Amino acid sequence: MGMLSGGMCNPMALAFVNSTSPNDKVSVSYTTVYPLTMFIRVILAQILILIAV
């Protein structure tokens, strides 16, 4: 669930899952996926702009 909420960049989903999960695996997976997702979004936007021009 941490990877899913990190992929969606949704901290509210992370807060909900953290309240139901007894360990820190959810937070670790969120912090692993979130920066990668933000990086891919920026690169993808730049590629789309280059294709459109």
Cα torsion through 41, 20, 22, 17, rounded to 10 = 0
Sites in the chain below the pLDDT cut of 70: none
pTM of the model: 0.74
Number of structural domains the chain divides into: 1
Mean pLDDT of the chain: 91
Under 8 Å between Cβ of 22 and 47 = no
Which segments of the chain does DSSP mark as H helices, in order? 2-7, 11-20, 25-52
Show the domain range for 31.
2-52
Half-sphere exposure of 13 (CA within 13 A, CB side): 14
Under 8 Å between Cβ of 17 and 1 = yes
Q: What is the pLDDT of residues 30-43, one digit of tens each?
A: 999 999 999 999 99
